[in-house]
């Protein structure tokens, strides 16, 4: 046993009052019972003290996880009263303004949950807020994983599971959003139908099968209901479990720092502190959702009225995660191709499929594309700082910009009304911005990454300003620089070189084997671009007493 | 009684360690020393006095949780729902107490961990994910041996008939889905409008006397009589009815299909089917609030902005014997969003009209 932290030290230090000398009987009994039957002991032996690295950004995924649990709880509650039917009923409930109005059973039962079930409105609002937090949590978690390169080998499969989870979460959101059958959710359903029917060859069949005939039909809510409460959450639950198991088995990545390497994990043990903290974090997420459900009204369906295909209210907005599709539909020019008696409605097809396709396919393929470009087949357990892989970071920010512009334009009517900008100008702006924005974001991000790398290099080679001004014998004043603190220095030293595939021609002008074809040449070129180290970290032994006031200081570090 | 498996000899040198003691990777239930959580750089113990202070704070927070939990149950009993106001009060009481209960419980636990528990980090080794080469070899050998044992490779007939057998079974679930809906047929090309069917105002169901709808710039949302609550019919048949001066119409509008400056267009947007419900009187623009496709109502609802690719179809209208507005016929093109089989229905319709005249 190599541990220096054993029972004795901890016990001695903490036992100044009543303390356990052995496992309490009920727990020991249960544990033995389980161990006798499951062999749980060896699992616990390996895992009770499993180490979890600590960093604030590692908590983002947990928001999504906990939101999902709250979604299951609140959702189950809602199913006790919700009736997924489209049959017509005349409302005679307590909400005066809708008395006598013909509506679907789905809408009537949602009103009942809101006004006649104690806590029903709270659970409905919490369910909706938890759904928003679920998707938002997944998104920020995914960005963290992307920008730190935590998707790299051996975690590519878990990354793919994550992409599937995000896609399914969008489908889960869409099907759930449509269930109350109010005017707003119906507008979303109508757009879904308009998109589905635009698909070439299969569009009409797909919509007729989905809606049980022509839109809106009498079936779609019952069908969405079974998708929403059974099929999709079932798959989500299975994939989330797989996601967690893989994370557990592969162990978490860690940020670079003192004592941390690719072959160890440094952090807090699962039991007891981490476990309790995770529990508290679940409760905080729960608090946030309960607080939002209490104090922030969401989807007040009684104000919208029952769905009818003949009406709509201005300013209809989907939930935030669908906004980018809405924005894409809005800025698309009116392109439609008719040929040989068939119609290709590009003005619907392109915005419905292309942005989602670019984002999701791009996400799914990125680990493999990066591996191909860098030729890097090693395992990576130390997270990259985003600045240290500037091209990846720039590509990520470009994608975020692409998504963000579409998302913003999904609310262009609100923007137009709020800021008094001509509505059409926002659309035209969007048509240009969607091309130029990502390019600009790429360039700016790259410069920022380079600047940050330069700053790191500066800290390592020059040290940091000490605030001490020293007068030299010749009368010159300089500020004394001191080496950076050891933990900061170790953090910076975590910068890893990005491998480059060989592509340079040899002395006889013959390129290496893999770089002769066009694809090979392109690969070698991209690899060089992706991996070239422009600003190496150089440690400087004489970092003390460097003059920081002289012009051009630091330029001598440029190395090629 | 403990849960140790005392039959293992190695346990003899490990003191009785059981679940519940803060052991650093010592054998809890296992039969050998744990995989090395190697070192502790520094264990920081809380100051006992501060810890006792923290304990009181944590206890206070847990007490708040207790009281809030009680308040939640009390709120459930006290606050009845029914009206908007009472529901709001109930929501506030239930949600507020729940939020407070969760918040103080979470805060209490965090304080407990941070102020009362010792702080330290452990180091664990990380091994490559891949199994050893001998394991891989063993698995590969076993697989090959098993495959040969099964005879799946050697017995071609077996293999092929098995694949054959699987094919229809694999298709069966797909076939079962066929009754999800009828085939589209030509249903998308028709609406319920037909000659003589009266136009009625959406909501009130009142028929419209042409002579009464006489202020230029007036607009109505209109549905077919008898279909006021048939959502399937309304999804295609809803109209927007606008009154102009007859001289305001441009070439795009078919004047024979108007009545005394009254024109009827499909309200269902040709983009993705939202109701194009907004109308701007001064510019005669119809605007769809979903994606802002804009149509010129004086010019056959021609698209002047936005993603819609086709004008809103115009319905031929006239008046019946009592002076009420009626349809002259169904639309001559499919209404609503485009679909694959639609084709250039406008061109066909134009041709048909020219032939007829």
CATH code where residue B212 lies? 2.102.10.10
Read off the tokens for A231: 């099929």
Exposure string over B207-218, b if 16+ CB within 10 A, otherwise e: bbebeebeeeee
Give the model's pLDDT for residue B6. Answer: 41
pLDDT above 90: percentage of residues in chain B: 77
Banded pLDDT at B7 (limits 50, 70, 90): very low
Residue B16 located in a structural domain: no
d(CA A262, CA A380): 7
Q: Do B109 and A280 touch (CB under 8 A)?
A: yes
Considering the domain architecture, whether residues B141 and B276 belong to the same structural domain is answered as: no
End-to-end alpha-carbon separation of chain A, Å? 49
Considering the domain architecture, whether residues B314 and B344 belong to the same structural domain is answered as: yes
Positions in chain A whose pLDDT score sits under 50? 1-16, 542-560
Residue B13 located in a structural domain: no
Considering the domain architecture, whether residues B211 and B329 belong to the same structural domain is answered as: yes
Provide the shortest C-alpha distance from residue A225 to chain B (in Å).
15
Residue B1, pLDDT > 70, answer no
Could you tell me which chain A residue has the CA closest to the CA of B180?
A209
Q: Do B289 and A154 touch (CB under 8 A)?
A: no
Q: Do B113 and A280 touch (CB under 8 A)?
A: yes
- Out of A4, A197, A272, the one facing B40 most closely (by C-beta) is A4
* B42 vs B239, more confident: B239
Whole-model pTM: value is: 0.89
**Do the Cβ atoms of B344 and B334 come closer than 8 Å?**
no
Considering the domain architecture, whether residues B151 and B236 belong to the same structural domain is answered as: no
Considering the domain architecture, whether residues B348 and B204 belong to the same structural domain is answered as: yes
Residue B83 located in a structural domain: yes
d(CA A252, CA A329): 39
Give the model's pLDDT for residue B217. Answer: 83
Considering the domain architecture, whether residues B103 and B159 belong to the same structural domain is answered as: no
Considering the domain architecture, whether residues B154 and B235 belong to the same structural domain is answered as: no
Sequence ranges of the domains in chain A? 54-257+268-310, 464-557
- With a CB-CB cutoff of 8 Å, which residues 284-313 of chain A face chain B? 284, 286-287, 290-291, 293-295, 302, 307-313
Residue B29 located in a structural domain: no
Which contacts of B286-292 are long-range, i.e. CB under 8 A and separated by 24 or more positions? B286/B240, B286/B312, B289/A312, B289/A313, B289/A314, B289/A315, B289/A316, B289/A413, B290/A187, B290/A191, B290/A312, B290/A316, B290/A329, B291/A326, B291/A329, B291/A330, B292/A330, B292/A412, B292/A413, B292/A423, B292/A424, B292/A427
Instruction: Report the topology of domain A54-257+268-310.
Output: Cytochrome Bc1 Complex; Chain C (1.20.810)
* B20 vs B317, more confident: B317
Q: Count the residues in chain B.
A: 357
Domain that holds residue B146: 133-180
Residue B24 located in a structural domain: no
Cα separation values, A9 from A52, B18, B123, B206, Å = 22, 16, 17, 88
Residues of A within 8 A of B99 (CB-CB) are 287, 290-291, 294
Give the model's pLDDT for residue A465. Answer: 87
Residue B84 located in a structural domain: yes
Residue B42 located in a structural domain: no
- Out of B91, B125, B291, the one facing A263 most closely (by C-beta) is B125
Q: Do B95 and A290 touch (CB under 8 A)?
A: yes
Residue B285, pLDDT > 80, answer yes
Per-residue H/E/C for A498-548: CCCCCCCCCCCCCCCHHHCCHHHHHHHHHHHHHHCCCCCCCCCCCCCCCCC
In this structure, of A146-150, A270-274, B72-76, B100-104, the range with the lowest mean pLDDT score is: A270-274
Mean pLDDT, chain B, whole residue set: 88
Strands (E), A394-512: 464-471, 477-482
Considering the domain architecture, whether residues B74 and B98 belong to the same structural domain is answered as: yes
Read off the tokens for B141: 């050998």
Give the model's pLDDT for residue A17. Answer: 54
- Out of A45, A96, A343, the one facing B343 most closely (by C-beta) is A343
Could you tell me which chain A residue has the CA closest to the CA of B109?
A280
Residue B251, pLDDT > 80, answer yes
Residue B95, pLDDT > 90, answer yes
A28 lies within 8 A of chain B by CB: yes
Provide the shortest C-alpha distance from residue A255 to chain B (in Å).
14
Give the model's pLDDT for residue A540. Answer: 60
Considering the domain architecture, whether residues B147 and B244 belong to the same structural domain is answered as: no
Considering the domain architecture, whether residues B153 and B282 belong to the same structural domain is answered as: no
Give the model's pLDDT for residue A507. Answer: 80
Residue B41, pLDDT > 50, answer yes
Considering the domain architecture, whether residues B221 and B73 belong to the same structural domain is answered as: no
Give the model's pLDDT for residue A314. Answer: 80
Give the model's pLDDT for residue B28. Answer: 43
- Out of A42, A94, A120, the one facing B29 most closely (by C-beta) is A42
ipTM rounded to 2 decimals: 0.88
d(CA A422, CA A425): 5
Considering the domain architecture, whether residues B98 and B232 belong to the same structural domain is answered as: no
B50 lies within 8 A of chain A by CB: no
Residue B215 located in a structural domain: yes
Domain count, chain B: 3
Q: pLDDT digits over B150-173, tens only? A: 998 899 999 999 999 999 999 999
Read off the tokens for A344: 């290709």
């Amino acid at each position: 046993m190599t541990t220096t932290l054993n029972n004795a030290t901890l016990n001695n230090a903490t036992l100044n009052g009543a303390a356990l000398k052995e496992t309490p009987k009920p727990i020991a009994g249960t544990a033995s019972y389980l161990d006798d039957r499951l062999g749980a002991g060896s699992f616990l032996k390996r895992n009770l003290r499993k180490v979890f690295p600590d960093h604030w950004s590692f908590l983002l995924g947990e928001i999504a996880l906990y939101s999902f649990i709250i979604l299951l709880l609140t959702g189950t509650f809602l199913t006790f009263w919700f009736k997924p039917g489209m049959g017509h009923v005349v409302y005679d409930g307590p909400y005066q303004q809708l008395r006598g109005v013909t509506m679907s059973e789905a809408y009537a039962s949602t009103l009942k949950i809101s006004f006649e079930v104690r806590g029903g409105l709270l659970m409905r609002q919490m369910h909706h807020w938890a759904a928003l937090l679920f998707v938002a949590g997944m998104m920020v978690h995914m960005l963290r994983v992307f920008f730190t390169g935590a998707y790299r080998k051996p975690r590519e499969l878990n990354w793919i599971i994550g992409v599937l989870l995000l896609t399914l979460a969008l489908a889960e959101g869409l099907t759930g959003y449509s269930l109350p059958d109010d005017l707003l959710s119906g507008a979303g359903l109508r757009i879904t139908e308009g998109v589905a029917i635009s698909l070439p060859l299969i569009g009409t069949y797909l919509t007729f099968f989905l809606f049980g005939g022509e839109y809106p039909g009498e079936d779609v809510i019952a069908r969405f209901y079974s998708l929403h409460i059974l099929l999709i959450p079932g798959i989500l639950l299975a994939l989330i479990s797989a996601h967690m198991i893989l994370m557990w088995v592969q162990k978490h990545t860690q940020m670079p720092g003192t004592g941390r390497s690719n072959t160890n994990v440094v952090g807090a043990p699962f039991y007891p502190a981490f476990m309790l903290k995770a529990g508290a974090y679940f409760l905080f997420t729960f608090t946030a959702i309960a607080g939002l459900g209490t104090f922030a009204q969401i989807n007040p369906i009684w104000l919208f009225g029952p769905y009818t295909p003949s009406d709509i209210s201005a300013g209809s907005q989907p939930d935030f995660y669908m906004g980018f599709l809405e924005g894409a539909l809005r800025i698309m020019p009116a392109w439609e191709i008719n040929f040989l008696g068939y119609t290709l409605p590009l003005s619907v097809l392109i915005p419905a499929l292309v942005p989602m396709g670019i984002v999701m396919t791009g996400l799914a393929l990125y680990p493999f594309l990066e591996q191909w470009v860098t030729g890097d087949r090693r395992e990576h357990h130390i997270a990259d700082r985003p600045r240290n892989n500037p091209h990846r970071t720039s590509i990520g920010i470009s994608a975020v910009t692409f998504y963000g512009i579409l998302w913003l334009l999904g609310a262009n009517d609100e923007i137009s009304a709020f800021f008094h900008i001509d509505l059409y100008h926002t659309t035209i702006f969007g048509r240009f911005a969607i091309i130029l924005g990502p390019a600009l974001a790429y360039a700016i991000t790259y410069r920022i990454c380079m600047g940050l790398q330069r700053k790191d290099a500066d800290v390592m080679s020059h040290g940091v300003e000490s605030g001490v001004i020293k007068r030299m014998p010749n009368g010159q004043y300089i500020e004394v620089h001191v080496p950076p603190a050891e933990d900061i220095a170790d953090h910076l030293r975590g910068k890893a070189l990005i491998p480059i595939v060989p592509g340079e021609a040899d002395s006889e002008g013959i390129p290496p084997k893999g770089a002769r074809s066009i694809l090979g040449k392109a690969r070698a070129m991209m690899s060089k671009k992706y991996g070239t180290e422009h600003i190496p970290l150089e440690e400087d032994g004489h970092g003390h007493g460097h003059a920081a006031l002289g012009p051009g200081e630091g330029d001598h570090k440029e190395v090629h | 009684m403990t849960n140790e498996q005392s039959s293992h000899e190695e346990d003899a040198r490990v003191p009785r360690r059981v679940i519940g003691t803060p052991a650093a990777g010592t054998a809890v239930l296992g039969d050998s020393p744990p995989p090395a959580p190697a070192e502790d750089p520094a264990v920081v113990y809380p100051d006992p006095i501060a810890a006792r202070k923290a304990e009181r704070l944590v206890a206070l927070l847990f007490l708040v949780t207790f009281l809030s939990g009680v308040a939640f149950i009390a709120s459930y009993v006290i606050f009845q729902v029914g009206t908007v106001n009472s529901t709001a009060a109930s929501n506030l009481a239930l949600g507020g107490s729940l939020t407070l209960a969760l918040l103080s419980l979470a805060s209490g636990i965090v304080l407990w961990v941070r102020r009362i528990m010792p702080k330290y980090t452990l180091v664990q080794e990380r091994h490559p994910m891949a199994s050893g080469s001998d394991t891989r070899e063993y698995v590969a050998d076993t697989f090959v041996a098993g495959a040969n044992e099964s005879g799946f490779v050697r017995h071609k007939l077996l293999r092929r008939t098995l694949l054959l057998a699987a094919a229809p079974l694999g298709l069966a679930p797909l076939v079962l889905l066929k009754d999800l809906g009828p085939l589209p047929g030509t249903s998308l090309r028709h609406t319920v409008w037909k000659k003589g069917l009266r136009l009625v105002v959406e909501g009130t169901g009142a028929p419209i006397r042409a002579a009464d709808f006489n202020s230029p710039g007036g607009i109505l949302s209109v549905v077919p009589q008898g279909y006021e609550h048939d959502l399937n019919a309304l999804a295609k048949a809803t109209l927007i009815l606008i009154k102009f001066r007859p001289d305001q119409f441009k070439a795009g509008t078919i004047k024979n299909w108007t009545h005394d400056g009254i024109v009827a267009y499909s309200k269902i947007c040709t983009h993705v089917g939202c109701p194009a419900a907004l109308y701007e009187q001064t510019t005669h623009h119809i605007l769809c609030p979903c994606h802002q496709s804009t149509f010129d109502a004086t010019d056959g609802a021609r698209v002047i902005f936005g993603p819609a690719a086709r004008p809103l179809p115009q319905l031929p209208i006239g008046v019946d014997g009592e002076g009420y507005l009626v349809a002259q016929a169904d639309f001559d093109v499919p209404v609503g969003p485009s679909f694959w089989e639609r084709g250039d229905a406008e061109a066909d319709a134009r041709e048909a009209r020219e032939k007829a005249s």
